[in-house]
Amino acid sequence: MKVALVGIGKIARDQHVPAINGSKDWELAATVSRHGSVDGVEAFADLDTLLAERPDIEVVSLCLPPVPRFDYAVAALRAGRHVMLEKPPGATVAECHALEAMAREAGVSVYATWHSREAAQVNQARDWLKDKRLKSLKVTWKEDVRRWHPGQEWIWKAGGLGVFDPGINALSIVTEILPDAIRLTAASLEFPENRETPIAASLVFAHPHGADISAVFDWRQEGDQTWMIEAETDDGVLRLTEGGARLSINGETAAEQDADGNPLLGEYPRLYAKMAKLVRDGGIDMDLAPMTLVADAFLLGRRVTVEPFEE
Protein backbone atom coordinates (compact mmCIF):
# COMPACT_ATOMS: atom_id res chain seq x y z
CA MET A 1 0.00 0.00 0.00
CA LYS A 2 1.10 3.53 -0.70
CA VAL A 3 1.49 5.90 2.25
CA ALA A 4 2.21 9.61 2.45
CA LEU A 5 4.16 10.90 5.42
CA VAL A 6 3.14 14.37 6.61
CA GLY A 7 5.65 16.29 8.75
CA ILE A 8 9.29 15.44 8.09
CA GLY A 9 10.96 16.09 11.43
CA LYS A 10 13.09 14.06 13.80
CA ILE A 11 10.54 11.37 14.65
CA ALA A 12 9.65 10.91 10.98
CA ARG A 13 13.26 10.54 9.92
CA ASP A 14 14.36 8.40 12.87
CA GLN A 15 11.37 6.07 13.13
CA HIS A 16 8.67 6.36 10.46
CA VAL A 17 10.82 6.34 7.34
CA PRO A 18 12.91 3.28 8.38
CA ALA A 19 9.76 1.43 9.51
CA ILE A 20 8.01 2.05 6.20
CA ASN A 21 11.07 1.23 4.10
CA GLY A 22 11.60 -2.00 6.01
CA SER A 23 8.00 -3.18 5.67
CA LYS A 24 6.58 -5.57 3.09
CA ASP A 25 3.20 -3.85 3.49
CA TRP A 26 4.13 -0.27 2.63
CA GLU A 27 5.65 1.98 0.00
CA LEU A 28 6.58 5.53 0.99
CA ALA A 29 5.01 7.25 -2.01
CA ALA A 30 5.12 10.93 -0.99
CA THR A 31 5.92 13.40 1.76
CA VAL A 32 4.31 16.66 2.82
CA SER A 33 6.42 19.28 4.56
CA ARG A 34 7.33 22.94 4.24
CA HIS A 35 10.92 22.32 5.21
CA GLY A 36 11.86 18.65 4.88
CA SER A 37 11.89 15.84 2.33
CA VAL A 38 13.11 12.27 1.88
CA ASP A 39 15.59 11.45 -0.87
CA GLY A 40 13.95 9.76 -3.83
CA VAL A 41 10.38 10.40 -2.64
CA GLU A 42 7.98 12.85 -4.27
CA ALA A 43 7.59 15.91 -2.02
CA PHE A 44 4.63 18.24 -1.63
CA ALA A 45 4.48 21.54 0.22
CA ASP A 46 0.84 21.12 1.29
CA LEU A 47 -1.58 18.28 1.90
CA ASP A 48 -4.39 19.56 -0.33
CA THR A 49 -2.15 19.35 -3.37
CA LEU A 50 -1.08 15.83 -2.53
CA LEU A 51 -4.69 14.70 -2.03
CA ALA A 52 -5.68 16.22 -5.38
CA GLU A 53 -2.73 14.96 -7.40
CA ARG A 54 -2.15 11.53 -5.84
CA PRO A 55 -5.50 9.70 -5.54
CA ASP A 56 -3.52 6.43 -5.63
CA ILE A 57 -2.13 7.06 -2.14
CA GLU A 58 -4.45 5.25 0.25
CA VAL A 59 -2.99 6.16 3.63
CA VAL A 60 -1.80 9.39 5.25
CA SER A 61 0.47 9.15 8.29
CA LEU A 62 0.56 12.36 10.32
CA CYS A 63 3.77 13.19 12.20
CA LEU A 64 2.91 16.82 12.93
CA PRO A 65 2.72 18.33 16.42
CA PRO A 66 -0.70 17.73 18.00
CA VAL A 67 -2.17 21.25 17.68
CA PRO A 68 -2.23 21.53 13.85
CA ARG A 69 -2.85 17.83 13.28
CA PHE A 70 -6.65 17.89 13.44
CA ASP A 71 -7.16 19.95 10.27
CA TYR A 72 -4.81 17.69 8.33
CA ALA A 73 -6.61 14.58 9.56
CA VAL A 74 -9.99 16.06 8.62
CA ALA A 75 -8.78 16.84 5.09
CA ALA A 76 -7.42 13.32 4.62
CA LEU A 77 -10.54 11.63 5.97
CA ARG A 78 -12.82 13.77 3.80
CA ALA A 79 -10.73 12.73 0.83
CA GLY A 80 -11.42 9.09 1.69
CA ARG A 81 -7.91 8.28 2.93
CA HIS A 82 -7.04 6.13 5.90
CA VAL A 83 -5.25 8.09 8.63
CA MET A 84 -2.49 7.13 11.06
CA LEU A 85 -1.91 9.52 13.98
CA GLU A 86 1.32 10.00 15.93
CA LYS A 87 0.90 10.18 19.68
CA PRO A 88 -0.89 11.96 21.18
CA PRO A 89 -3.62 11.52 18.55
CA GLY A 90 -4.82 15.12 18.92
CA ALA A 91 -4.64 18.29 20.93
CA THR A 92 -7.93 17.56 22.72
CA VAL A 93 -10.03 14.53 23.54
CA ALA A 94 -13.00 16.03 21.67
CA GLU A 95 -10.92 16.28 18.50
CA CYS A 96 -10.13 12.59 18.69
CA HIS A 97 -13.78 11.63 19.14
CA ALA A 98 -14.63 13.80 16.13
CA LEU A 99 -11.99 12.10 13.97
CA GLU A 100 -13.27 8.66 14.91
CA ALA A 101 -16.83 9.66 14.01
CA MET A 102 -15.65 11.06 10.66
CA ALA A 103 -13.70 7.88 9.87
CA ARG A 104 -16.72 5.73 10.60
CA GLU A 105 -18.92 7.89 8.41
CA ALA A 106 -16.38 7.79 5.57
CA GLY A 107 -15.81 4.05 5.92
CA VAL A 108 -12.05 4.39 6.37
CA SER A 109 -9.58 3.44 9.08
CA VAL A 110 -8.08 5.75 11.68
CA TYR A 111 -5.41 4.66 14.14
CA ALA A 112 -4.34 6.45 17.32
CA THR A 113 -0.86 5.00 17.71
CA TRP A 114 0.92 4.52 21.04
CA HIS A 115 4.43 3.44 20.11
CA SER A 116 5.49 2.52 23.64
CA ARG A 117 2.82 -0.17 23.77
CA GLU A 118 4.85 -1.88 21.07
CA ALA A 119 8.01 -1.99 23.20
CA ALA A 120 9.56 -5.44 23.24
CA GLN A 121 8.42 -6.63 26.68
CA VAL A 122 5.06 -4.91 27.14
CA ASN A 123 2.99 -7.87 25.99
CA GLN A 124 4.86 -10.26 28.29
CA ALA A 125 4.35 -7.87 31.23
CA ARG A 126 0.63 -7.65 30.47
CA ASP A 127 0.30 -11.44 30.30
CA TRP A 128 2.11 -11.93 33.61
CA LEU A 129 0.02 -9.33 35.44
CA LYS A 130 -3.40 -10.44 34.19
CA ASP A 131 -4.00 -13.01 36.95
CA LYS A 132 -2.02 -11.35 39.77
CA ARG A 133 -3.32 -9.26 42.66
CA LEU A 134 -1.69 -5.86 42.32
CA LYS A 135 -0.40 -4.23 45.51
CA SER A 136 1.35 -1.21 44.04
CA LEU A 137 2.65 0.23 40.81
CA LYS A 138 5.10 3.09 40.48
CA VAL A 139 6.14 4.86 37.30
CA THR A 140 9.42 6.78 37.16
CA TRP A 141 9.91 8.56 33.84
CA LYS A 142 12.85 10.98 34.01
CA GLU A 143 14.80 12.26 31.04
CA ASP A 144 16.74 15.25 29.76
CA VAL A 145 14.56 17.42 27.53
CA ARG A 146 17.63 19.10 26.03
CA ARG A 147 18.81 15.73 24.79
CA TRP A 148 15.55 14.36 23.43
CA HIS A 149 13.70 17.49 22.24
CA PRO A 150 16.34 20.03 21.23
CA GLY A 151 14.92 23.19 19.70
CA GLN A 152 11.32 21.92 19.67
CA GLU A 153 9.63 25.08 20.86
CA TRP A 154 6.14 23.78 20.05
CA ILE A 155 6.40 21.34 22.92
CA TRP A 156 6.53 24.26 25.39
CA LYS A 157 3.46 25.96 23.92
CA ALA A 158 -0.12 25.32 25.04
CA GLY A 159 -1.17 22.02 23.50
CA GLY A 160 2.41 20.75 23.30
CA LEU A 161 2.01 18.73 26.54
CA GLY A 162 5.46 19.48 27.96
CA VAL A 163 6.69 16.60 30.11
CA PHE A 164 3.52 14.70 29.31
CA ASP A 165 4.84 14.20 25.77
CA PRO A 166 7.09 11.41 27.11
CA GLY A 167 4.89 10.85 30.17
CA ILE A 168 1.97 9.78 28.01
CA ASN A 169 4.20 6.97 26.73
CA ALA A 170 4.41 5.62 30.26
CA LEU A 171 0.65 5.92 30.69
CA SER A 172 0.09 4.11 27.41
CA ILE A 173 2.06 1.17 28.81
CA VAL A 174 0.30 1.26 32.19
CA THR A 175 -3.15 1.26 30.60
CA GLU A 176 -2.07 -1.64 28.38
CA ILE A 177 -0.55 -3.94 31.01
CA LEU A 178 -3.06 -3.48 33.83
CA PRO A 179 -6.17 -5.66 33.61
CA ASP A 180 -8.21 -3.01 35.47
CA ALA A 181 -8.86 0.60 34.51
CA ILE A 182 -7.43 3.32 36.74
CA ARG A 183 -8.44 6.94 37.25
CA LEU A 184 -6.52 10.00 38.35
CA THR A 185 -7.20 11.33 41.86
CA ALA A 186 -4.46 13.94 42.37
CA ALA A 187 -1.67 15.67 40.47
CA SER A 188 0.99 18.31 40.92
CA LEU A 189 2.32 19.99 37.78
CA GLU A 190 5.50 22.09 37.76
CA PHE A 191 5.49 24.89 35.18
CA PRO A 192 8.63 26.92 34.47
CA GLU A 193 7.65 30.57 34.85
CA ASN A 194 8.58 31.23 31.21
CA ARG A 195 6.79 28.21 29.69
CA GLU A 196 3.18 27.23 28.99
CA THR A 197 3.54 23.49 29.62
CA PRO A 198 4.92 21.56 32.61
CA ILE A 199 8.48 20.36 33.03
CA ALA A 200 7.61 17.86 35.77
CA ALA A 201 4.54 16.16 37.22
CA SER A 202 3.56 13.86 40.09
CA LEU A 203 0.38 11.81 39.72
CA VAL A 204 -1.73 9.59 42.01
CA PHE A 205 -4.31 7.13 40.73
CA ALA A 206 -7.19 5.10 42.14
CA HIS A 207 -7.29 1.36 41.44
CA PRO A 208 -10.54 -0.63 41.72
CA HIS A 209 -8.94 -3.12 44.12
CA GLY A 210 -7.04 -0.62 46.23
CA ALA A 211 -3.52 -0.87 44.83
CA ASP A 212 -1.28 2.16 45.35
CA ILE A 213 -0.48 3.62 41.93
CA SER A 214 1.63 6.71 41.28
CA ALA A 215 3.80 8.29 38.62
CA VAL A 216 6.62 10.83 38.55
CA PHE A 217 7.62 12.53 35.30
CA ASP A 218 10.59 14.92 35.10
CA TRP A 219 12.36 16.55 32.16
CA ARG A 220 15.34 17.80 34.17
CA GLN A 221 17.15 14.48 34.51
CA GLU A 222 20.88 14.58 33.82
CA GLY A 223 23.10 11.53 33.50
CA ASP A 224 21.29 8.20 33.37
CA GLN A 225 17.84 8.39 31.80
CA THR A 226 15.07 6.52 33.61
CA TRP A 227 11.97 4.99 32.04
CA MET A 228 10.76 2.43 34.58
CA ILE A 229 7.51 0.84 35.73
CA GLU A 230 7.63 -1.31 38.87
CA ALA A 231 4.65 -3.41 39.93
CA GLU A 232 4.43 -5.29 43.24
CA THR A 233 1.97 -8.17 43.29
CA ASP A 234 0.97 -11.11 45.49
CA ASP A 235 3.38 -13.19 43.39
CA GLY A 236 6.38 -10.92 43.38
CA VAL A 237 7.73 -7.85 41.60
CA LEU A 238 7.68 -7.00 37.91
CA ARG A 239 9.98 -4.30 36.59
CA LEU A 240 9.86 -2.82 33.10
CA THR A 241 12.81 -0.61 32.20
CA GLU A 242 14.12 1.29 29.17
CA GLY A 243 10.58 2.27 28.25
CA GLY A 244 9.34 -1.32 28.11
CA ALA A 245 12.30 -2.78 26.22
CA ARG A 246 13.60 -4.71 29.23
CA LEU A 247 11.71 -6.85 31.75
CA SER A 248 12.57 -8.59 34.99
CA ILE A 249 10.26 -10.65 37.19
CA ASN A 250 11.34 -11.40 40.75
CA GLY A 251 14.88 -10.44 39.81
CA GLU A 252 15.12 -12.69 36.76
CA THR A 253 15.67 -10.88 33.48
CA ALA A 254 13.45 -11.95 30.62
CA ALA A 255 15.01 -12.92 27.33
CA GLU A 256 15.68 -9.87 25.19
CA GLN A 257 13.50 -9.47 22.11
CA ASP A 258 15.39 -6.58 20.51
CA ALA A 259 18.98 -6.60 21.62
CA ASP A 260 20.94 -4.04 19.66
CA GLY A 261 20.78 -1.35 22.35
CA ASN A 262 18.07 0.71 20.63
CA PRO A 263 15.09 0.98 23.03
CA LEU A 264 12.71 1.95 20.20
CA LEU A 265 13.74 -0.89 17.92
CA GLY A 266 10.68 -2.69 16.61
CA GLU A 267 8.08 -0.27 17.96
CA TYR A 268 7.31 1.62 14.76
CA PRO A 269 7.49 -1.44 12.49
CA ARG A 270 4.86 -3.04 14.72
CA LEU A 271 2.71 0.11 14.51
CA TYR A 272 2.80 0.02 10.73
CA ALA A 273 2.02 -3.70 10.70
CA LYS A 274 -1.07 -2.97 12.82
CA MET A 275 -2.08 -0.13 10.53
CA ALA A 276 -1.84 -2.46 7.54
CA LYS A 277 -4.17 -4.91 9.27
CA LEU A 278 -6.64 -2.16 10.18
CA VAL A 279 -6.78 -1.01 6.56
CA ARG A 280 -7.26 -4.53 5.26
CA ASP A 281 -9.96 -5.32 7.85
CA GLY A 282 -11.69 -1.95 7.67
CA GLY A 283 -10.92 -1.42 11.36
CA ILE A 284 -10.55 1.57 13.66
CA ASP A 285 -8.37 1.86 16.77
CA MET A 286 -8.85 5.09 18.70
CA ASP A 287 -8.07 4.03 22.27
CA LEU A 288 -7.81 7.28 24.25
CA ALA A 289 -7.12 5.88 27.74
CA PRO A 290 -3.62 7.43 28.04
CA MET A 291 -4.81 10.79 26.73
CA THR A 292 -7.77 10.82 29.13
CA LEU A 293 -5.42 10.46 32.10
CA VAL A 294 -3.28 13.35 30.85
CA ALA A 295 -6.34 15.53 30.27
CA ASP A 296 -7.51 14.75 33.80
CA ALA A 297 -4.08 15.75 35.14
CA PHE A 298 -4.48 19.19 33.59
CA LEU A 299 -8.05 19.41 34.92
CA LEU A 300 -7.31 18.24 38.45
CA GLY A 301 -3.64 19.08 38.88
CA ARG A 302 -2.27 21.67 41.29
CA ARG A 303 -0.10 24.15 39.39
CA VAL A 304 3.32 24.96 40.86
CA THR A 305 5.56 27.64 39.31
CA VAL A 306 9.27 26.78 39.20
CA GLU A 307 12.41 28.49 37.90
CA PRO A 308 12.59 29.42 34.20
CA PHE A 309 13.77 26.84 31.69
CA GLU A 310 16.29 27.90 29.08
CA GLU A 311 17.43 25.71 26.23
Each residue's pLDDT tens digit, 167-211: 999 999 999 999 999 999 999 999 999 999 999 999 999 999 999
Every domain of the chain and the residues it spans = 2-112, 119-256+295-306
Nearest to 54 by CA among 34, 36, 80, 33: 80
Active site residues: 87
pLDDT digits (tens, 9 = 90+) for 30-60: 999 998 899 999 999 999 999 999 999 999 9
pLDDT at residue 259 in the model: 45
pLDDT at 278 over 90: yes
- To 10 degrees, what angle do helices 289-300 and 93-106 make? 150
Three-class HEC string of 44-107 = ECCHHHHHHHCCCCCEEEECCCHHHHHHHHHHHHHCCCEEEECCCCCCCHHHHHHHHHHHHHHC
Percent of residues, the chain, with pLDDT higher than 70 = 97
CB 15 within 8 A of CB 264: yes
For 88-146, write each residue's pLDDT tens digit: 999 999 999 999 999 999 999 999 999 999 999 999 999 999 999 999 999 999 999 99
3-state secondary structure of 115: helix
SS3 category, 281? helix
pTM of the predicted protein model: 0.94
Residue 248's Cα: distance from chain center in Å?
23
Q: What's residue 22's pLDDT?
A: 95
Q: What angle do CA 244, 11, 282 make, to 5 degrees?
A: 80
pLDDT at 258: 52
Average pLDDT, the chain: 95
Which CATH superfamily includes the segment(s) 119-256+295-306?
Answer: Dihydrodipicolinate Reductase; domain 2 (3.30.360.10)
| b/e map 188-220, b = 16+ CB within 10 Å | bbbbbeebebbbbbbbebebeeebebebbbbbb
Residue 136, exposed/middle/buried by CB under 10 A (0-12, 13-18, 19+)? middle
Cα-Cα-Cα-Cα dihedral sign, residues 53, 69, 6, 285: negative
Q: Is the pLDDT of residue 262 over 60?
A: no
pLDDT score, position 311: 87
Alpha-carbon span 223 to 172, nearest angstrom: 25
Q: Are 245 and 121 in contact (CB under 8 A)?
A: yes
Backbone angles phi, psi at 174, to 5 degrees: -60, -45
Q: Which CATH class is domain 2-112?
A: alpha beta
